[in-house]
Structure 1
Amino acid sequence: MLRADRAGVCQLTLNRPDKLNALNVDLFRALEAHIADLEAAPAGVVVLRGAGRCFSAGHDLGDIAAGEKLPRPNYQSHVIERLADLPLPVVSAVHGHCYTGALELALAADIILAAESAKFGDTHAKWALTPVWGLSQRLPRRVGTYKAREMMFTCRTYSGRQAETMGLANACVADAEFEAAIDSLASEILANSSFSHAANKRLLTETDGLPQRAGLAHEIYRGEGVGPDMSDRIQEFTRRSTFRQSPS
């Protein structure tokens, strides 16, 4: 796992390109360590991606067959939950393969950006497995329960454009534009208040699944309201507006 920090963006890269970034225990240990660092000292936005030809081909089947030695029960699912619960925006930038366990990992992000080369699929049923890293809950919330059933029952592969159409990916861009699109999305997020990002993410998470009336009450009475940077942001906006309107 590689980490690169630049101008508020923390880029975490799955780095087993010779194995198509297949997810093993060592990779999850490395990911957990980076998540712990981000919990202690948050960045502005996290971008999760894969090195080489793809995001990730999925859970390392060789490790499964050999019998993984986990640090604790349900280890990978706990790491993925910690990633999803980070108090800052998380983006999965997906190119090439993103299958099964890799899809579960990508779904932990707040936003999925796909390249046209992306190939999404859930193949649990192909191997007589069921999800244990969150797919049965997160996938239907993105694409709807019946599209999720189609994906889970057929084990089909879906392109980046298909993923965008079904709502699995927030956007799909040409491969040649992928790096620029990642940078542009991160810049848009960074331009806004980190206080609001964290507070809004908590609101969305804490009200997910509530009836509307209960969700509204939660927002009104338990929302965090005004952030410490509000005055500065309004003053800066006013200053710029005044400058633009001043006669030359």
Structure 2
Amino acid sequence: MDGVTATGVRATARIVARRDGRGGTSLPVLEGEGPLALRRTRGSGAEARVMLVGAMSGPLGGDRFTVEAEVADGARLRVGSAAATMALPGQAKAEARYDVRLTVADGGELHWLPEQLISAKGSDLYVTTRVALAPTARLVLREEQVLGRAGEEPGRLTSRLAVRIAGRTVLDQELACGPGAPGGWDGPAALAGHRAVGQLVVVRPEFACEPVTARVLGERAALVPLAGPAALVTAVAPDALLLRRLLDKALATLG
């Protein structure tokens, strides 16, 4: 843990994945303490697997969490989390921040599949996820956000996702929900009363030659191609369980 200040906890976790020279993936850097504990789990084939374990509640007001993952050329990494992340109000009234930085080199592959982020009443969290990919990198990234616990109004949640491929921005979007967010976030043009929202970004070199076709996936999800070898699925649902089903089905559709 980087430390505890008068305005909250500061913590950083780092993962570096490299080819091990034997057909697998090694993790020369696996560092995480306090609220950002990391555990290596049993992998499959050439893929290394890491679980992010929340050792403390939060993020709370004023906390600053950062997670960084780097996948070197030819390495394969899958990252998940042991439980949902819960944004909670804290003694400090300041906004909490959760920053994710992901880098994948040529021939590398990253599956970033954390559990849901739940915005509890009274919380104020700004989440940023920035991804930098080399031209032949592969990515599956899932984000799921739940606005409030059962029967509870949500906190303030702002989420920004930016993806760059070969230095070119293919996606940069921000969603703000909850008290104090710009008007219309819960209206028919946005969440339409739903309390779970998610997206799936899939990057594969073959999409450059055969882009996906934009289409509606049922009543609550849509698939669109992005510039370059990438596709985006967005979905809304009344709860986290249905949201996960929608995103899993969408990923299966992409093959």
TM-score category of the 2 structures, normalised to the smaller one: 0.3 to 0.5
Return the index of the structure with the highest Cα Rg.
1
Structure with higher strand content = 2
